[in-house]
Amino acid sequence: MNWAKLLSSAEFTYNNIRNFSTKITPFKALYGYDPDLRIDISPEDSTIKGEAPAAHDRITRLTELRQQLRDHLLQSQERQAKYYNQRHQPKLFKRGDLVKLSTRNLRLKDKKLQPRWVGPL
C-alpha cells in the first residue's frame, strides 16, 4: 500500500479529532467551523460576488471561539501545573554543597566515552 496516497486522509483525520486541552478540533480552532466532507463542489458556490452579509457574525464567532480556546488552554495549563507541583520538590543549594555537573553542554574530546555527570564538585 502506498502511504503517500493515504497522507491527505490522515491529515484530514488528524485535523478533525477533538483535542483534549482545547476541547475542539484543530480545524475549528483555525477556521471557526467544522468542515463538511463534500465530494462535489458546484461552481455556483464559488461565484458568489459582493460582500458577505454574515461576515461580522463570523468575526464575532471567531473572536468568541478564540477566547474560549484561551480559557481551555489556561485550564489545561493549570491542571498540568497542579500535577507537576504535587511531585516536584525544589532543590536548594548552598555555597559549599557538593553537586554533580552535567556534561551535556561541556566541550569534551569524545562525548561517547565520557560520563553524563562529573563531580561531585
Tell me the three state secondary structure of residue 121.
Answer: coil
- What are the domain boundaries of the chain? 9-35+55-118
Strand partners, 118: 101
**What does the pLDDT read at residue 51?**
62
Q: What is the pTM of this model?
A: 0.46
- In tens, the pLDDT along 37-89 reads 654 444 444 445 556 667 778 778 878 888 888 899 899 999 999 999 999 99
Report the C-alpha gap between 19 and 33 in whole angstroms.
Answer: 15
Report the C-alpha gap between 80 and 43 in whole angstroms.
Answer: 48
**If you average pLDDT over residues 10-34, what whole number do you get?**
85
